[in-house]
Structure 1
């Protein structure tokens, strides 16, 4: 798992690259990043599968905010070990990953 942040100088936006290695997706053919930035829509942000079996997606997010998210694949939810922090979600009864921009 990895998160890469690229802050733009021209506007208050950060390009965030979400990435999962092949061994982190448990054989899933589809992986989605789901969070408050896409209204927790499980299909809104599909990740692209690379030739090496990893999954990535680049999302532009407004800088200066915190965003809660998780990965969804094969009916399971996963956190990102590289998140800036974790926050308990009473709705899911589990922690969410949080990225601070």
Structure 2
């Protein structure tokens, strides 16, 4: 799931997944963090989900995917567009 909050000149994007699907550590990786899996790991939240927040320039478009344990890459079904990667428009 994706949540967006508009801020002055930026958009705060929260990438959210269930706590146990998939199991193990998961990171959101994309052009906004140079595809670095260590940059934005999803962290547990009190509501039973896990999430990572990224602040992106407003009115921009970015490619991303999730990377889970075992080199398992997957897309976000709620992304704005899919072209081999998930895409989000801020």
Query: Is the aligned partner of 1:100 residue 2:89?
Result: yes
Aligned to 2:28: 33
SS in 2 for 1:24: coil
Give the CA deviation at 1:76: 0.5
Return the alpha-carbon distance in structure 1 between the equivalents of residues 82 and 18 of structure 2: 20
Aligned to 1:21: 18
Which ranges in structure 1 are unaligned for 5 or more consecutive residues?
Answer: 88-94
* TM-score normalized with structure 2 length: 0.90
Which ranges in structure 2 are unaligned for 5 or more consecutive residues?
Answer: none
Larger Rg belongs to: 1
Return the alpha-carbon distance in structure 2 between the equivalents of residues 46 and 23 of structure 1: 14
Q: CA RMSD in A?
A: 1.4
SS in 2 for 1:61: strand
Aligned to 1:79: 75
Q: How many residue pairs get matched?
A: 89
Q: Give the conservation status (yes or no) of the 8 Å contact 1:34–1:69.
A: yes
Aligned to 1:90: none
